[in-house]
Amino acid sequence: MKMESIINSTILSLACFPKSNPSIHHQKTVKARRTVCCSLSKNSNSEGDANGLLKEEEEEKYNDIWLLFKEAQQNILYLNKLRLVAVEELNKANREKQLLLDKIQQLEAVNKLGNEQSLWRELLLRIDSMVLTGLIDSAEASGMRKAVMGNKFSVALVFFDIRQKTDAELLAQLRHFSVGSRKNGFHIIQICTEMEPLVSVGSLSSYVTGLSKALQKKGHIVEVILPKYACLDLTEMQGLREIEAELYSYFNGQLHGNRIWTGIVHGIGVTLIQPLYYSSFFDRERVYGYSDDFERFTYFSRASLDYIAKSGKQPDVLHIHNWETAIVGPLFWDIFVKQGLGGTRVLLTCHGFDSQCLEQPDKLALCGLDPARLHRPDRLQDHTMTHLVNILKGGLVYSNKVVMVQSIYSKERIINSFSHGLEPTLAIHKDKLLVSPCGFDNSTWDPSKDKFLPKNYSADDLKGKSICKVALQQQLGLSKNSSTVLVSVAYRTLK
């Protein structure tokens, strides 16, 4: 633009020269020539200035272009960096998404498997109901149980609407069900007084539930029989139903009616026994600690065996716990082994020997046992108070195997130091004693899923562990420094 203005002004100045007069032609011509020469000289200077200005402008333009290029280059590098970060975040999000999808798929598979397992276990309980109501006999029930357990993974396809059918309708369907497969694993019935989450007082409840779940994962069939306490928490029991027929069991010289309830808890078949005449036995606020605890749990133990025998069950193992159900051992071998249970064996688990239950021998007759036959040193007679019978000792003597739950001491140390007067009996039956460490259910105590933790963590991602540690230290009034060494111990005391 500047150069164009200079050229235009020069042209205009040349166009404005005055016209020559003919009378003074010569003089004017020379003057004019001089003027023209002068004008041309000035034009040369202007043109040089214009060239300099043009050069400066070109340099400015070049500098501007270079600055723009450098800025563009920096922007491109920055955008490329952002793109790489975005790609990495996208890849990370995709990995997390895939992990989440895999976890959802795994949970769906577990849920589906859990539903299938719950279904065939509920079907086994319905077969018990058919026997008690007289729809089928024990022999047919045994065949049906083998069919269900041998084809348990196809049960969900055939009996998906089990809860909508009556026992009679279900029986017709069962009789057409294939019986070609053999039973796999053991059939185990736990007769106990606690089970998490239905009723929990001590470690027995979590032990029963955790062991049942672990055994079922290995392919065994596990059932649990409990008293129907008034304090039961039934919120997590699925398919709770009352069997229409009453179960009669022997106690104190007579047969007494019981209501039978069945349901599923964590995929485990559960049977609840509710006495009618002796309804006050379990219609109480507490589980233990009453003066008639012997009568209460002896009644329940006898009723459990009557239920097993009359429903045609043929379990491989009866698993009993502590003194409360230890009387099952003598009852089984003196009375019930001849009632179709010849292939069954008894396993007793002791969570401690400090509670043994000493009673007058005559009280054994309440459940149908012969006091004179059992009040002997090699059977139920107590070693110290010989005029009494020791119920826990009876379980030790009459069980095929005895498990002592203990994580610290050896078998010999337990017998010699923590037997609470049972040392002679334990020494005689030493070969059938087993020591089992305390365990826990890692599906329940999982820090990667525990909703009560301030931050979840796992073996693959330990970031949340220090947060949980600091929160625990704060709750205990300790140092809030995450680097502080914190030692914890879980153990069971023996007195």
Does residue 310 have a pLDDT over 60? yes
CA distance linking residue 332 with residue 340, whole number of Å = 11
Task: Place 179 in a pLDDT band, splitting at 50, 70 and 90.
Answer: very low
| pLDDT at position 151 | 64
Q: Which has more pLDDT, 335 or 141? A: 335
**In sequence order, which residues have a C-beta less than 8 Å from that of residue 349 and are 6 or more positions away?**
207, 319, 320, 321, 322, 402, 403, 404, 405, 436
DSSP sequence for 235-250: TT-EEEEE-SSPEEEE
The whole-number average pLDDT for the span 117-146 is: 82
The whole-number average pLDDT for the span 146-154 is: 66
The CB-based long-range contact list for 491-494 (8 Å cut-off, 24+ gap) reads 491/407, 491/408, 491/438, 492/203, 492/351, 492/352, 492/405, 492/406, 492/407, 492/438, 494/352, 494/354, 494/406, 494/409, 494/414, 494/417, 494/418
Task: Place 32 in a pLDDT band, splitting at 50, 70 and 90.
Answer: very low
Does residue 178 have a pLDDT over 50? no
Q: Which has more pLDDT, 172 or 433? A: 433
**In sequence order, which residues have a C-beta less than 8 Å from that of residue 303 and are 6 or more positions away?**
247, 249, 251, 258, 273, 275
| pLDDT at position 374 | 98
The whole-number average pLDDT for the span 414-420 is: 90
Does residue 227 have a pLDDT over 50? yes
* Listed range (194-208, 273-287, 437-451) with the worst mean pLDDT: 437-451
Task: Place 105 in a pLDDT band, splitting at 50, 70 and 90.
Answer: low
Apex CA 395: angle with CA 392 and CA 398, to 5°? Answer: 150
